[in-house]
Amino acid sequence: MPSFEITSPQNDRIKRLRRLRDRRHRDEEGVFVVEGARLLSRALHAGLEPLEVYTDRTVENPSGAPEILVESSVLDAASYRKASEGLIAVFSQWSCQIEDLQLSDPSLLVVAESLEKPGNLGAMMRTAAAIGADGLVTVGGSGDPFNPNAIRASAGAVFSVPVVNTNSEALRRWLSKKSLPLVALTPDSPQTIWETDLTRSFALLVGAEDTGLSQEALTLAQKAVSIPMHRNSIDSLNTSVALAVAAYEVFRQRTAQSSPNDL
């Protein structure tokens, strides 16, 4: 049995891990937390090195970084979930400005307005990584990629997809400078993604599922498109699901073969 260095949830380092669930404390220290061996392995694969690793030795520490041994129940108390999965690692945050984004050819940039739910942000990062988007820009809302729920929902995409938070005016200037058209995804458009050429470079704008896109955001867009739906369906999808549907239509058009294979 390992000799645990920390055996009490009242230990100062455990209290500090609990504080890091809150964005204010994360930003003050410039750090964020990753839980579990799988996410830690993906952070390492992306070239990140942990500052600290807390473990109860129930799973292997893939980082090789020095360990702080913590009793299992105490490590669970430090987790933002009910169970820690045996590892909690602390990493330094990084910042990304809109001017830092590098565009491919053809490029696809995801833009999300008023995105508040960390789980949706994480799911969008995961979709952006899966289809090779150049980044994710959030306008308004919190847009915190280091939120524990966002990190988990991203399945590690947070370590590879640039995430930028900016305002409408800065976005407008940058899109104009890059000659990158903005295409709004909205249920009100009569033109669907199936009827639109999505093979050229553009930025795809999505809004909150409850309020949709603001008028300010819509005025920034050069075109609006919608997702085809069954006539008896509800009028909206979860925002991360809507993004995934539209993004994969972009991916399909850009990678389509001359003829489909038979089943």
Per-10-residue mean pLDDT of the chain, 263 residues long, equals 86 97 96 96 96 94 91 95 92 94 96 91 96 95 89 96 94 96 93 95 88 88 91 72 95 76 54
Cα separation values, 33 from 3, 40, 60, 103, Å = 24, 10, 18, 29
Computed from CA positions of residues 211, 213, 215, 216, in that sequence, does the dihedral angle turn out positive or negative?
Answer: positive
The predicted pLDDT at position 230 comes to 77
The predicted pLDDT at position 258 comes to 46
Instruction: State whether CATH 3.20.20.10 applies to domain 12-92.
Output: no
Largest CA distance in the chain: 66
The predicted pLDDT at position 208 comes to 77
Assigned token pair, 118? 């960390």
Please check whether residue 15 is in contact with residue 21, taking contact to mean a CB–CB distance below 8 angstroms: no
Assigned token pair, 43? 């952070």
Assigned token pair, 159? 């370590």
Q: What are the domain boundaries of the chain?
A: 12-92, 98-255
Instruction: State whether CATH 3.60.15.10 applies to domain 98-255.
Output: no
The predicted pLDDT at position 262 comes to 56
Residue with tokens 């942990």: 50
